[in-house]
Amino acid sequence: MLQPVKDLLFRMKDTSELIVDLAYSAILFDNEDIAEEVLELERKLHDLLDDTRVSSILAARRIDEAEAVSGVLQVANATEKIGNAAGDIAALVLRGFKLPRDMIKMILATAEETIVKTVVPDDSRVADKTINKTKIHTMTGMRIIAIKRGFEWIFNPTKDTKILKGDVIFARGDVTCVPKFLEFIGNKCKPQYTIPEIKIENLERAVKILIKMKNLSELAVDLAYLALLHKNEEVAQEVVYLEEEIDDLRYELQHWVLGSSRYYEDYEKIKPLMAILEIAYASEIIADSARDIAELLLKKAKIHPILKDIIMGSDEIVTLVEVKSGSKLSNKTLGELKVETNTGMHIVAIKRGNKWITRPTASTKILANDVLVAKGTKEGEALLKKICQ
């Protein structure tokens, strides 16, 4: 029996958001278990898209309904493309394509967060307790973002979600918090990384480009959904600009890879360069998908109300907040006012004039007229707006 389109799209959106995080974690930590999970989620996205197509066609009985459903399918197709890109990254791990150790170190040095996967043992202190009661986030610094229970997935679990023995849990947090998290869960297995020692000239340049592509592509997806939610063509146009910038970055990275490849004749030694290219291509596909979503607005397509319901119905929302002159946050760092602690909102990017600051840290200073792109709860959004006034 087919499910309602709204439920199908909601599950597709949640799945696509998790799958990208898992894919990047799989390649950075050379983790085949996580890579397998990504491929399973990719297959799930394909099934959801098939059901969405059938349900959408059955729902359209008039021309105006068909036009609105067309937009829904465009969002669904873009979501599947995001999943395919994540699957391509995960496939690198299973095929033995690894990033060089020096590149991993540089990327992790700039990354604030990572994702870890572990199984809840029978004697775990968190078994048969709600997330709120376990105080996992407070005690370890890691936040549970998904739970796999048998063949079922629980995305964005709430504080009242109960953790059961045998659950596979995925948590996000600082890289340094992983050992404490595993010990708290009661899983003595430590992650084993087998990253090759391969020296590549001018690696810093490639790392900067790759990190920027990853950050901008993820930002583009957030802004695309934000544009749909508020029917904001200006934000939709920003998505187009970001996609074009990512295209330019890919050409620059390709040029670097071609220049570096001349030093390596052995196939095994050139595999890390191939992995870098594939990740760059996947980041571009994610940005292209975001543009597909944003262009619904720019082409004046009819936006089905169901899309707004899906975005608003998520436990985690994306919002734009302008920092007013004279606000508490103006000329202060995010750390000084403990923005994330006090509001629950994670600042994913800052727009300052025509420039973007992606992945701001606690030491990033906020200026008047900055526009913050933040993720969190609806209650947190209200608190953030208050300190920005």
Q: Give CB contacts under 8 A, 24+ apart, made by 271-277.
A: 271/96, 271/97, 271/98, 272/97, 272/98, 272/99, 272/100, 272/103, 272/196, 272/198, 272/200, 273/200, 274/97, 275/27, 275/92, 275/97, 275/98, 275/99, 276/99, 276/103, 276/206, 276/210, 277/253
In a domain, 250, yes or no: yes
Burial track 192-227 (b if 16+ CB lie within 10 A, e otherwise)? eeebeebebeebeebbebbbbbbbbbbbbbbbbbbb
Look up residue 244 and give its two tokens: 């074009």
Are both 86 and 233 inside the same structural domain? yes
In a domain, 205, yes or no: yes
Are both 89 and 209 inside the same structural domain? yes
CA dihedral 107, 108, 114, 120 (to 10 degrees): 130
CATH of the domain at 247: 1.20.58.220
In a domain, 278, yes or no: yes
The whole-number pLDDT of residue 195 equals 45
The whole-number pLDDT of residue 341 equals 75
CATH of the domain at 161: 3.30.70.1450
List the Cα angle 83/85/89 in 5-degree steps: 115
Are both 27 and 42 inside the same structural domain? yes
The whole-number pLDDT of residue 307 equals 75
Q: Which of 157, 185, 213 is the last residue of a domain?
A: 185
The whole-number pLDDT of residue 84 equals 95
Are both 294 and 204 inside the same structural domain? yes
Are both 173 and 222 inside the same structural domain? no
In angstroms, the first-to-last Cα distance of the chain is 49
Are both 204 and 284 inside the same structural domain? yes
The whole-number pLDDT of residue 295 equals 92
Domain encompassing residue 121: 112-185
For residue 6, CA distances in Å to 34, 311, 378 come to 28, 11, 20
The whole-number pLDDT of residue 247 equals 94
The whole-number pLDDT of residue 1 equals 45
Q: Which of 276, 309, 342 is the last residue of a domain?
A: 309
Are both 88 and 150 inside the same structural domain? no
Contact 186, 253 (CB under 8 A): no
Domain count, the chain: 3
The whole-number pLDDT of residue 206 equals 83
Are both 295 and 328 inside the same structural domain? no
Are both 221 and 75 inside the same structural domain? yes
User: Between β-strands 371-376 and 317-322, what pairing exists: parallel, antiparallel or unpaired?
Assistant: antiparallel
Amino acid at 221: V
The whole-number pLDDT of residue 292 equals 94
Look up residue 262 and give its two tokens: 């001349």
Look up residue 7 and give its two tokens: 């439920």
In a domain, 191, yes or no: no
The whole-number pLDDT of residue 158 equals 81
The whole-number pLDDT of residue 241 equals 92
Contact 197, 272 (CB under 8 A): no
Are both 130 and 19 inside the same structural domain? no
Are both 227 and 291 inside the same structural domain? yes
Largest CA distance in the chain: 61
pTM here is 0.77
Are both 204 and 332 inside the same structural domain? no
Per-residue pLDDT of the chain (389 residues; tens, 9 = 90+): 456 877 888 888 888 888 988 898 888 878 888 899 999 999 999 999 998 888 887 876 777 777 777 888 899 999 999 999 999 999 999 998 888 777 777 776 666 567 788 899 999 999 999 998 988 888 887 888 889 998 888 877 888 899 999 999 988 877 778 888 888 998 765 544 444 454 555 678 888 888 888 888 988 998 898 888 778 888 889 899 999 999 999 999 888 888 877 666 666 677 888 888 899 999 999 999 999 999 998 888 777 777 777 766 666 677 888 999 888 888 888 888 888 778 878 888 888 888 888 778 778 899 999 998 888 777 888 888 888 88
In a domain, 238, yes or no: yes
